[in-house]
Amino acid sequence: MTRLVVAWLALVLAAGAHAQSTAALGNIDIASDTDGFHATRVRIGGLYPYASYVDHVGVAVQTTHYSQDDWHRDANGIVALWRNQDPATLAGVNAEAGLVQVTGHTRAVADATWDLKPTANTGVELIGAADVVATQRAIDRGVAYGFVAASGEYTFAERLTAVALAGYQPFTDGNARVHWRGRLIWLVAPDYGVNVQLRYRGYESRKSDVDGAYFNPDRYRQWQGAVGMRRHFGSWTLSGSLGFGRETINGTDDHPVRVAELRAEGALTERLRLALYALYSRSTGYVDAPDYAYRQVGVTLMYPF
């Protein structure tokens, strides 16, 4: 599989010598949590045809190194990439899907959205995702999940937007979850791209016992208040949010929630495009611990030929 991808990339780069429709892609993503779990993913690929950073097709190879104390595992894989979006509204398709091999198991990985704008005030988004469950026990057992969801949004009086989502998340160990999410977004300062948000998310699990492979309450609920921002500075776009709230596990166990997100994307040179992102989340994820926190940083580079 790897040899075929390398050959394909060589053809892509050769094609770039004759046409301005090819780009190289590189990405590194580093994540860690307070349980001592680390995951580092490196991805390289080629995009052809390449019209812009929001309009291209490609393929990439990747490797993810998982570690915790003296334990470590590697997941190697291949993904196909397709992006076709309106640069102003981001309506359209942004999708990646492929396969990885880890601990003798072949698992699907995916992250795809299809954003539709039927009218100026309405939006519909279809979502699909898949990945390995990122804990030591789950990786050793080859546990993975899928996720399909649909969301709708409506803007009232220009500045107030409501968003609702329903989703289904099956696991390869026979577990499954039903998800509900909602947001109210008030655009406080349109000239500065500043908004305030009320966020809700919750799910219910089909199985109570997953043999300690990952955090799996019967019922999970979370409320947040947040401040968000999205602004353009020349060719750069800066976006982020800061949220505070509470989570409730099985109706009784209550913990604080803190979430911070930041993303910057733009052109470093006439051709080289850079995207930087960072996330901090203090909420119960795959580990049942009241002080659990998750951190993630990443960088993506695109270089057209």
For position 288, what pLDDT does the model report?
A: 62
Rounded Cα distance, 221 and 217, in Å: 10
CATH code assigned at 18? 2.40.160
For position 89, what pLDDT does the model report?
A: 87
3-state secondary structure of 254: strand
Tell whether pTM > 0.85.
yes
Say if residue 7's pLDDT is above 70. Answer: no
> What string of DSSP letters covers 143-163?
-EEEEEEEEEEEEETTTEEEE
Helix (H) and strand (E) counts in the chain: 2, 16
Rounded Cα distance, 262 and 241, in Å: 7
Per-residue pLDDT tens digits for 234-286: 889 999 999 999 999 998 888 899 999 999 999 999 899 999 999 999 987 65
Which burial class, exposed, middle or buried, applies to 161 when counting CB atoms under 10 A from its CB (0-12, 13-18, 19+)? Answer: buried
Handedness of CA 225, 281, 80, 305 (dihedral sign): positive
For position 270, what pLDDT does the model report?
A: 87
Per-residue pLDDT tens digits for 29-52: 999 999 899 999 999 999 999 999
Q: How confident is the model at residue 16 (pLDDT cuts 50, 70, 90)?
A: very low
Please count the structural domains in the chain. Answer: 1
Say if residue 224's pLDDT is above 90. Answer: yes
Query: Which residues, at least 6 apart from 280, have a Cβ–Cβ distance to it below 8 Å?
Result: 258, 259, 260, 261, 293, 294, 295
For position 216, what pLDDT does the model report?
A: 92
Backbone conformation region of residue 92, classed left if phi is above 0, alpha if psi is from -120 to 50, else beta? left
- CB neighbourhood size of 177 (10 A): 20
Residue 248 domain boundaries: 2-304
For position 4, what pLDDT does the model report?
A: 44
Q: Which token pair is 141?
A: 């057992």
In whole angstroms, what separates CA 68 from the centre of its chain?
22
Of residues 196 and 5, which shows the higher confidence score? 196
